[in-house]
Chains A and B, each alone.
Chain A
Amino acid sequence: EAQVTQNPRYLITVTGKKLTVTCSQNMNHEYMSWYRQDPGLGLRQIYYSMNVEVTDKGDVPEGYKVSRKEKRNFPLILESPSPNQTSLYFCASSFRQGSYGYTFGSGTRLTVV
């Protein structure tokens, strides 16, 4: 089944404790992206990757890191999480940058206390 797999689905952590949210797609998509979704603010892009070893900042990149060492994987790293990073996170992928629509992962609900 073609899909984007995110893990974990739920995560509660403490301020400052490094964490990684994994994202993997099995559709051979070139483009991958991370979004956070907050009430009233909609989906905001954190980082995106046009292809392996090519990443760039989205609209809200502060406090996040990404890497794209393999085509299928695009992990999101929070080096020192803070409470304002409490949010619902989505990974998405596309054959090309947005031209064909995105396939989204199931989401990760992160709470930082």
Chain B
Amino acid sequence: QKEVEQNSGPLSVPEGAIASLNCTYSDRGSQSFFWYRQYSGKSPELIMSIYSNGDKEDGRFTAQLNKASQYVSLLIRDSQPSDSATYLCAVKGNEKLTFGTGTRLTIIP
């Protein structure tokens, strides 16, 4: 079992709709959770962090964390073509930050 799992996609969402990205992790002791956005050929950019169960909202982005079920999700409301990118989930356990392989999101105009 991979430490951090994401559906690789591609996930296609119409412009203006809600995009939902999911991530599961294996280490129950994980403490910190992050979502990064990566455009093709560019470096990952931190867009959300979440540390406790529940929802955290920042603009059009909402991160959701459920430690009991060991999953993290990212919702993007009012999706824009500029949101087309690969989204990486990252989870910090005791010693290191582990990345998933990413979900490729395409927003269809």
Q: Which residues of A contact B (CB under 8 A)?
A: 35, 40-43, 45, 48, 58, 90, 97-107
Contacts and interface: CB of A to CB of B under 8 A. Distances in A.
Contact of A42 (B32, B34, B43, B100): B100
A104 B92 contact: no
B44 A98 contact: no
A101 B43 contact: no
Interface of B: 8, 31-32, 34, 41-46, 49, 88, 90, 92, 95-97, 99-102
Given A58-B96, A98-B32, 7 more contacts: A40-B101, A42-B88, A42-B101, A43-B88, A43-B99, A99-B31, A107-B43
Contacts of A40: 8, 101
A12 B64 CA distance: 42
Given A43-B44, A103-B46, A107-B43, A98 B101 contact: no
Given A43-B99, A104-B45, A99 B92 contact: yes
Contacts of B49: 100-101
Nearest to A91: B43
Contacts of A99: 31-32, 92
A97 B101 contact: no
Given A42-B100, A48-B96, A107 B32 contact: no
